[in-house]
Amino acid sequence: MDFNGILPKLQEFATFYGLKIIAAILIFIIGRWLAKMIKNLIVKVMKKGEVDATLTSFVGHLTYVALLTLVVIAALNQIGVQTTSFVAIIGAAGLAVGLALQGSLSNFAAGVLMILFRPFKVGDYIEAGGTAGTVEEIQIFSTILTTPDNKVIIVPNAKITGDNIVNYSAKDTRRMDLVFGVGYGDDLQKVKDILQDILQNDPRVLKIPQPMVGVLELADSSVNFAVRPWVKSSDYWPLFFDLKETIKKRFDAEGISIPFPQQDVHLYELKKAAS
């Protein structure tokens, strides 16, 4: 075998294709950097134009994925792969890939629907997909939620749109539903007056609609009062905890009992029949 003849050919081959591979790598690195830069620029412009944060995030991610796809095709073309045939192969395999990625495609379609119909936006507190949290970001395939204890939950978009969505931030006001039980021996009118006085003296409770206080149930061990004030959505949880503490302390001061669940047991003595 003539190694002297093969060596120059190997050198020529390495030089020719090595340069192409290096060029392809550079195209990918630079192209990826440009894609990120363009994405950040678009996001910056949309934020400056006060475009909704939900739409801004979605458009940014979609732009980055589209540009990165073009960069990959350009890099392959530099190596020598015919991009026209490459695209044709992708198209021919599209059905198989689509079947394999049904979940991803449905998540993408769900993301588009959420952008179009806007059931919620970034910053809203929602309950969806079997979980709840504040919407941090709506991406192409998933939505990122943050729980009140600062856990990050990534929920597939299709799971969100495929079930009920409860948006707690959609309205400026919310009604709080509380229940307090008092003893059967307590003065019901006095209890009602105390509850109404507490609500009227808390500035976070809205005057319109008026708060409602009434007997909800004659339960086994207590008379249950329904306390339903209207509040701003931002004041809901602070007032929720404060009202419970305030009412408990006021009941103690006024001598109103909060009974424990109890049962009365009656014992009867049966006399033995005479033998």
Residue 152: inside a domain, yes or no? yes
Reading the block at residue 234, the tokens are 């931002």
- Tell me 97's DSSP state: H
If you search the block for the tokens 């931030």, which residue do you land on?
169
pTM: 0.59
Contact yes or no for 212/145 (Cβ under 8 A):
no
What local confidence, expressed as pLDDT, does residue 16 receive? Answer: 62
Residue 98: inside a domain, yes or no? no
What local confidence, expressed as pLDDT, does residue 56 receive? Answer: 76
Q: What is the pLDDT of residues 118-127, one digit of tens each?
A: 899 888 999 9
Residue 132: inside a domain, yes or no? yes
Q: What are phi and psi of 216, to 5 degrees?
A: -95, -40
If asked whether residues 130 and 82 sit together in one domain, one would say: no
Residue 243: inside a domain, yes or no? yes
Q: Which of 234, 228, 162 is nearest to 195 (CA)?
A: 228
Q: Is the pLDDT of residue 64 over 90?
A: no
Comparing 41-50, 85-94, 186-195, 206-215, the range with the smallest average pLDDT is: 85-94
Residue 28: Cβ-neighbour burial (10 angstroms; 0-12, 13-18, 19+): middle
What local confidence, expressed as pLDDT, does residue 14 receive? Answer: 61
Contact yes or no for 141/161 (Cβ under 8 A):
no
CA distance 260 to 92: 71
Q: Is the pLDDT of residue 19 over 90?
A: no
In which band, very low, low, confident or very high, does the pLDDT at 65 lie, cut at 50, 70 and 90?
A: confident
Comparing 59-63, 84-88, 137-141, 237-241, the range with the smallest average pLDDT is: 84-88
- CA torsion sign for 203, 204, 208, 213 is negative
pLDDT mean over 2-14: 58
**Overall number of domains in the chain:** 3
**Residue 15: half-sphere exposure toward Cβ, Cα within 13 Å:** 6
If asked whether residues 187 and 234 sit together in one domain, one would say: yes
What local confidence, expressed as pLDDT, does residue 145 receive? Answer: 95
Q: Is the pLDDT of residue 92 over 70?
A: no
**Tell me, what CATH number does 24's domain have?**
1.10.287.1260
Q: Looking at the chain, which runs of residues are DSSP E strands? A: 125-128, 131-138, 142-146, 152-156, 166-167, 173-175, 178-182, 212-218, 223-228, 230-232
Q: Is the pLDDT of residue 98 over 70?
A: no
- Domain encompassing residue 80: 7-92
If you search the block for the tokens 């809901």, which residue do you land on?
236
Max mean pLDDT among 91-105, 106-120, 121-135 falls in 121-135
